[in-house]
Structure 1
Amino acid sequence: MSIDFNEINYLQDPDQEHLKSDYNQFLMSISGPTVIDISGKDQTRTRVITTLIHGNESSGLIASHRWLSALGSTSRPTTNLRFIFCSPEAASKSPRLTHRVLPGGMDLNRCFGKDIDYGYFKRAKIIEKAISEVNPEVLVDLHNTSGFSPAFSVSTAKNEMALSLTSLFCQSLVLSDIRLGALMEQDFGCESITIECGSSEDAQSHEVAFMGIEKLATLDDISCCHHKLNVDIYLKPLRLRLKPDIELSYSCIDEGRDGVTLCNNIEQHNFGVLRANQMLGWLDDNGLKNLQIIDTNGKNVIDTFFTLRDNQLVTKVDLDIFMATKNNDIAKTDCLLYMVPQNFKL
């Protein structure tokens, strides 16, 4: 599929003809990044919602379309809202809503904040401009987790607004100092937060996204919402990754495969605790040399958190786990899971 990296489309207060009858028809009707502006009661403020940075993460699309379609001609959100649908080409490729990126394409959420002006980096710049030009009050970036998981949020800073935005959607906040070129990491002069709504295969994830949008649209002051809901905070996540060209498989038994074999119930650990001495899978003769956990100093600290018991991969300390996935492509190109040592939870 050919992509026009210069393209971006704007719609102002679209009617049902533009929104189509359902989210699938709407998706197929847009050809590139699409901005939908909704006029609010207070037109001096704008809140921005981005979605479809990854084409297989459908909850933001489904929830945004549902909210837009239910908006009556006389009903208005509290402030202006700007919705940005970022990668409709990947989302619309058959089978629909199954491609994270187009074949041969790049992960758009690794292209923000770069001084590069072509391809996916250019698209990232166009999206950044569409956010900056409205001087947003907040930015909420809607995603789905790569495996089955409860919803959680990710922010780069612990402050009142990050906690409040989290509480509109869920009750777990991961404070991350990892820098990957994600949209959330950019400075738009406001609080930017990622909401991981849960698995795209779980209808509850779509509901999480919709209810959060509804609250974001109707509340006047969202800065103190977290006082109504306790928010759990997880500090300084680390990524467990394969080293380059290492084979990955999943199984319930040790089948003697090359590389790394993870237990096929790995997703059940998401937002649970892996206790010390718990097994995650099996390794070949290279053992822990198959894996890496890079800290903020660029050092591989795999030995700090994992050890071998014969050829079993075993935890050395108690760990909170999230974003563990059985999606082989994502696990190999991004990471196997994110983790936070238990003493890093507030």
Structure 2
Amino acid sequence: MKYLRFLRNPSATEIGTSVESFLRYLGGPTCIFLDGMDSSRTRAFVTLLHGNEPSGAMALFRWLKSDRQAAANTVCIVASVEAALASPCFSQRMLPGSRDLNRCFRPPFEGDQGRLAREILEILRLYHPEAVVDMHNTSGSGPAFGVCTHMDRQHDALVSLFTRRMIVTRLNLGALMEISEHNYPTVTVEVGGRLDECAHELAWTGLCEYLQRPRVLAGDEADWGVELLRNPIRLELNPGIGLAYSEYPEPTFPVVLRPDIEHLNFGVVQPEVPLGWVNDELHTLFRAQDASGRCAVSRLLRVEEGRLFPAAPLKLFMITTNAAIARSDCLFYAIEQDAAAVTA
């Protein structure tokens, strides 16, 4: 069974008048091939792996409506169309009962989402693009950043089309970007919060740079001024742990985080800054592993009279105030500040 619909050079008049009508026109996961001015090279753009992250789909729709031609052939994959169209539009990360598609890009490719992920990988292998950009929104508000698993000048160059901040991680979650080291330069670009107009605009301007530039990989440049942040640690809730966001402790929830916690995204959070409240032992509530597989919970968090604080200065990102996403994915990523950032 094939999951992807294939289109070639759809005209601006046939794709609808809004991003929602564009998605209804697609109907499901779709691969759109765009002929470029240079037909000897191909790039790939992947978006909507999560149905509640609209900026990439909005940027692609805007590009198709502009009737511009890309510098090179481009394969555009729009993945979780049905989830995006679930009412209200762009509210569902994935359909109920479905796996997170961006955790399915490794064997075994089980279920509909696993088989769709395998088909996307097969399309990329078929066209063997010179670069792959996978565009996302963060669940909470925050600045843009790129993510890669393999650090070199090619990844720096790709991320610099969108932002000057890049996370380098060795986490193996089954995300699309993890194909990068063995295949072609692949980066995840988080353009900012899914409800932020500035994120939609960055997605558009960055996509234009990616599609229009004759060269997007490294050349003779000395550097791109990209800040590199290495080996973030995922803080997750243990299974079955309840979570709320509130200005006060909630006795029925073992973990309560402050409602404005997403404002801490990418700031350095000092140990005296309160994060929320807990009513049990840290290791009962949370789990976190560093790049070596060691438990890192006590390096990230401490408790003082029921209040939750950082255990040391931390740079936090991907903080969300969406409890469902926090429970199913993670609360946030943290980088210990003694792991100093460097500039590429």
Equivalent position to 2:279, from 266, 279, 284:
284
Q: Distance in 2 between matches of 1:17 and 1:78?
A: 22
Gap change, CA 1:184 and 1:125, over 3 Å in 2? same
Q: Is residue 51–residue 90 contact of structure 2 (8 Å, CA) maintained in 1?
A: yes
Deviation at 1:18, TM superposition (A): 2.8
- The answer as to 2:124 corresponding to 1:128 is no
- The answer as to 2:101 corresponding to 1:108 is yes
One-letter code of the match for 1:206? H
- The answer as to 2:190 corresponding to 1:196 is yes
User: Structure 2 unaligned runs (5+)?
Assistant: none
2:296 — aligned with what?
301
Gap change, CA 1:241 and 1:117, over 3 Å in 2? closer
Query: Over aligned residue pairs, what C-alpha RMSD do you find?
Result: 1.6
- The answer as to 2:312 corresponding to 1:331 is no
- The answer as to 2:213 corresponding to 1:219 is yes
Deviations 1:59-102 (A, max 9, x none): 00000110111024xxx221111110011111111111111000
- The answer as to 2:34 corresponding to 1:38 is yes
Equivalent position to 2:235, from 232, 236, 240:
240
* Structure-1-length-normalised TM-score: 0.94
Q: Distance in 1 between matches of 2:22 and 2:306?
A: 50
Deviations 1:118-164 (A, max 9, x none): 42111111111111111100000000001001111100011111111
Q: Is residue 151–residue 168 contact of structure 2 (8 Å, CA) maintained in 1?
A: yes
Instruction: Note the 1:126-165 alignment, pairs <5 A.
Output: 126-165=119-158
Instruction: Note the 1:33-112 alignment, pairs <5 A.
Output: 33-72=29-68, 76-112=69-105
Deviation at 1:224, TM superposition (A): 3.6
Where 1:133 maps in the other structure, the secondary structure is helix
Gap change, CA 1:166 and 1:227, over 3 Å in 2? farther
Q: Is residue 108–residue 120 contact of structure 1 (8 Å, CA) maintained in 2?
A: yes
The percentage of aligned residue pairs carrying the same residue is 34
Deviation at 1:276, TM superposition (A): 2.3
Q: Distance in 2 between matches of 1:152 and 1:278?
A: 24
Where 1:205 maps in the other structure, the secondary structure is helix
1:15 — aligned with what?
11
Gap change, CA 1:331 and 1:117, over 3 Å in 2? closer
2:164 — aligned with what?
171
* Structure-2-length-normalised TM-score: 0.94
Q: Distance in 2 between matches of 1:319 and 1:193?
A: 24
